[in-house]
Structure 1
Amino acid sequence: MKQNAVFARTWYEDTAIAPPDFGQVALDDCAWDVGIIGGGLAGLTALLKLSQAGARVVLLEARSIAAGASGRNGGFCTGGWAADDAQILRLLGGKGAAAMEEIAEGGLLWMKERMHRTGWESTAATPGVLRVSLSGHGAPGDLDAQALAAFVKAPRYRHGAVSYEGVHFHPLNFMRLLAREALEAGGQIIEQAHVRGAFRTSRGWHIETSRGVCRAQQVIWAGGGYGEGDAPMLTSRILPIRTYIGVTEPLGEMVLRHIPTECAIGDTRRAGNYYRRLPDGRLLWGMGITAFGTLSIPKVKAMVLRDIAAILPGLADEMRSAGRGIDYGWAGNMAYAPHFLPLVGEIRPGFHALTGFGGHGMNTAPAAALSLVSQMQGNLGDPTPFSQIPRPPVFGILGRIAAEGSYRWRILQDFRAEKVSQSHQGQ
């Protein structure tokens, strides 16, 4: 277990503010309006909004708040969804795609408004996300390779675009502050409450947990890629996909020479690299996707060094000469549907889904939660675009095989595209 990257301690945990005091909640003595399963960003946002509206709500988390992807991700918050614009347009049409864009933008603004509040300074919100490509010619107005050198010394990058609408931040601190806000609004949180099953009765829903039975009129299943709760109607439609992050030792001026920008940086490959400088002079580096098993902590650290050398060879050489390595290596599970769009809405009477954000949840999870709560409260006259999103099955192990195969196919496509671009550049 100590070598399993899924349970590895993160840089965020070692630099986090203290969690709020959740107090003592007796599940068996209460009847709740809503029980929320999963203490990530989606679940906490729903808890906050329902509690602010006066509902009696409890959130059940199997481990600790933000122990999953919401508290151990790369710390990027940008617009859009995990699915690209063309995919959304194909599935939902022009009207649905426009509604999804508006919802995603609302989620980004909701996050940024909190990050900039007094008392939320520990989120360390920094504007700017640079999206770069290793192939192709880019769109009009994109930065070319020469202009990119002012941001990052990465010889393989061909073009890119920077947006200061996106931000990067400390996600675990954000989550702990959000949990505090939800508690102050009257919500209740119970950690170490592993959900064993949810069953409908004549008086609502019974949620069986390791801490007792929760009786609620409605349920929101906001689990991610960790299989929270026994909800086969959802787990049959969601795949747990794993990604990996490492953090270097403090690099001082060394990292500034090779990454002079304060922007976070990510490339356009489906499973490419994403990285950013941290306030203490370290470099956070994200990479890779696997659908099976997990990598050990030493393997993650070795992958980080390999990837840095492939993208930032000058920095890798300086790190090697100075004897600087990788201090942290961890993994996080993400919940994916085959089309990269979330499952949001009522699945059965009184049972609502809020999951499947596909590694792009820092704006979309709160956006979807706000939409779902409004729908539950009857504040939306028309169906949301989420009701139009297909809910195909993932076929268990076959789905994982397909996901792994798709990932590897995309790696080959990206490699070929880069080689083609290099050959054109040399002509």
Structure 2
Amino acid sequence: MAETDYPPSYYAASANPAPARPAFAGEAAPEVCVVGAGFTGLSAGIDLAAKGHEVMILEAAKVGWGASGRNGGQIVNGLNAGLDTIERRYGAETARFVASLVREGGEIIRERIAKYAIDCDLRDGNLFAALTDRHMRMLAEKQALWRRYGLDDFEMLDAAGIRKHVATDFYAGGMLDPTGGHMHPLNLALGEAKAFESEGGVIHEESRVERIEALDGAPVLRLASGVVRPRILVLAGNAYLGPVAPALDTRVMPFSTQIIATEPLGARGQALLPTGVCVEDVRYVLDYYRLSADGRLLFGGGTVYGGADPADIRAKILPNLEKVFPDLRGVRIDHAWSGNCAISFSRVPQMGRLGPNTYFAAGYSGHGVVGSHLFGRIIAAAVDGDAGRFDTFAAVPWIPFPGGQRFRVPYSMLGSWWYGLRDRLGL
């Protein structure tokens, strides 16, 4: 398999047809160049192209090759950092600002699906599952907090109530967000790429940027096959930018998460998740799962800091699936894959400028499906002349990882072990 081929995931196996997009060669000077054809880059690109800007997207592999085409496919409203954490750390005004837009990412996704007729198996409903009474108190506090900021769609569920959505005795209860949902993420990315091109945008796949020069002025992008000199540069590679943008490497850390897909379950699957919602529990090291359009259980979890793939994904994830659904012991697993996300130490996404004409967004910390669509839109608005929301987010202080580049992985592993122990002990 070539390095630029899609990994052998369920999503790649069930992807909609997509055209070949030629690699960049030669020289070009577009008004806007976006590095990365994932959700952030596509979101920014669609808005800018629709407003008449000349936009080129350079993708090192293929559209949606990274986290955008490998994730759990869940529309989970909010950022990783809760509104209480944001309020405590950055003040009530910043918390009110974040609360005003935490659902916008999901709204953008639905807007794009409707406007451009994107076929990606969208379904509504996101369920937060609690394993203990302490988890239930946490969810009740979250419901009260969101209500205080005018967000009042959450429904608390006791043990009997959650069983109407998930046929397991594993949970003490939960909380339903009807404005959440799930979809086929790679098909969403492919549909958004087609939408971007319909607005006049251009995508070059297999066009890896090797280095970027002159960030303090007009940026210059060097590729093996040519040079791009845009007026505006948007860096949207998240965990996959690597050494191309070393200034961002101190802000975020890659981590991998894994997903397995069962054989089609038919009526068994419908019985397990009768209302078709997606589920994630509220532990620090969490499980997340949903049914695919063809009736497979897609079950994810696990965290490997630094972005390495485990040697045996099935062995890592399958025991978690069997704890939640004991009746599925012995089920056939047809697909297993891994992919990198990027986490910030504060769990708040990073947005800003590396120079007067270079914008970036990264570090969605596990909430990238909604966060990337939102931040892509905010960057597009800033490029188009409305930088109000961009400047507000860019002004939020960022916190470096303790121990710097050398020790951020072991530090994070230690923290994960500690919180995982608390989860196991029910603390």
TM-score (norm: length of structure 1): 0.89
Aligned match of 2:317 in 304, 310, 316? 304
Q: Which moved more, 1:38-47 or 1:209-218?
A: 209-218
Pair 1:412 & 2:421 matched: yes
Task: Give distance in 1, aligned partners of 2:424 and 2:68.
Answer: 30
**Map 1:17-416 → 2, pairs under 5 A:** 17-22=16-21, 26-28=25-27, 30-117=28-115, 119-120=117-118, 122-136=119-133, 137-138=136-137, 139=140, 142-200=156-214, 204-228=218-242, 230-292=244-306, 294-296=308-310, 299-316=312-329, 320=330, 324-381=331-388, 384-394=391-401, 395-416=404-425
**Offset of 1:393 from its aligned partner?**
3.0
SS at 1:35 equivalent: strand
Tell me the residue number matched to 2:9.
10
SS at 1:413 equivalent: helix
Task: Give distance in 2, aligned partners of 1:23 and 1:63.
Answer: 11
Change (3 A) 1:306 1:261: same
SS at 1:167 equivalent: strand
**Offset of 1:270 from its aligned partner?**
2.3
Mapped contact 2:252–2:343 kept (Cα < 8 A): yes
Change (3 A) 1:296 1:343: closer
Mapped contact 1:265–1:274 kept (Cα < 8 A): yes
AA matched with 2:12: E
Mapped contact 1:241–1:335 kept (Cα < 8 A): yes
SS at 1:341 equivalent: coil
TM-score (norm: length of structure 2): 0.89
Q: Which moved more, 1:188-197 or 1:148-157?
A: 148-157
AA matched with 2:322: A
Task: Give distance in 1, aligned partners of 2:35 and 2:360.
Answer: 10
**Offset of 1:21 from its aligned partner?**
4.5
AA matched with 1:364: G
Q: Which moved more, 1:216-225 or 1:226-235?
A: 226-235
AA matched with 2:407: L
Structure 1: tracts of 5 or more residues without a match: 421-427
AA matched with 2:21: F
**Offset of 1:405 from its aligned partner?**
1.4
Task: Give distance in 2, aligned partners of 1:214 and 1:62.
Answer: 14
Task: Give distance in 1, aligned partners of 2:275 and 2:392.
Answer: 37
AA matched with 1:214: V
**Offset of 1:75 from its aligned partner?**
0.6
**Offset of 1:117 from its aligned partner?**
4.3
SS at 2:186 equivalent: helix
AA matched with 1:152: V
AA matched with 1:336: I
SS at 1:261 equivalent: coil
Change (3 A) 1:27 1:35: farther
Tell me the residue number matched to 1:423.
none
Q: Render the CA deviation track for 1:384-410: whole Å, top value 9, x for unaligned.
A: 331232223331131111111111111
SS at 1:286 equivalent: strand
Change (3 A) 1:203 1:408: closer
Task: Give distance in 2, aligned partners of 1:383 and 1:333.
Answer: 25
Mapped contact 1:291–1:404 kept (Cα < 8 A): yes
Change (3 A) 1:381 1:37: closer
Task: Give distance in 1, aligned partners of 2:282 and 2:226.
Answer: 46
Change (3 A) 1:112 1:383: closer
Mapped contact 1:127–1:168 kept (Cα < 8 A): yes
Task: Give distance in 2, aligned partners of 1:392 and 1:131.
Answer: 28
Change (3 A) 1:78 1:115: farther
Mapped contact 2:127–2:174 kept (Cα < 8 A): yes
Task: Give distance in 2, aligned partners of 1:92 and 1:116.
Answer: 36
Task: Give distance in 1, aligned partners of 2:115 and 2:292.
Answer: 21
Task: Give distance in 2, aligned partners of 1:222 and 1:92.
Answer: 25
AA matched with 2:415: S
Percent of aligned pairs sharing the same letter: 28
Structure 2: tracts of 5 or more residues without a match: 144-154
Mapped contact 1:92–1:388 kept (Cα < 8 A): no
Q: Which moved more, 1:95-104 or 1:196-205?
A: 196-205
**Offset of 1:209 from its aligned partner?**
1.6
AA matched with 1:374: A
**Offset of 1:27 from its aligned partner?**
4.4
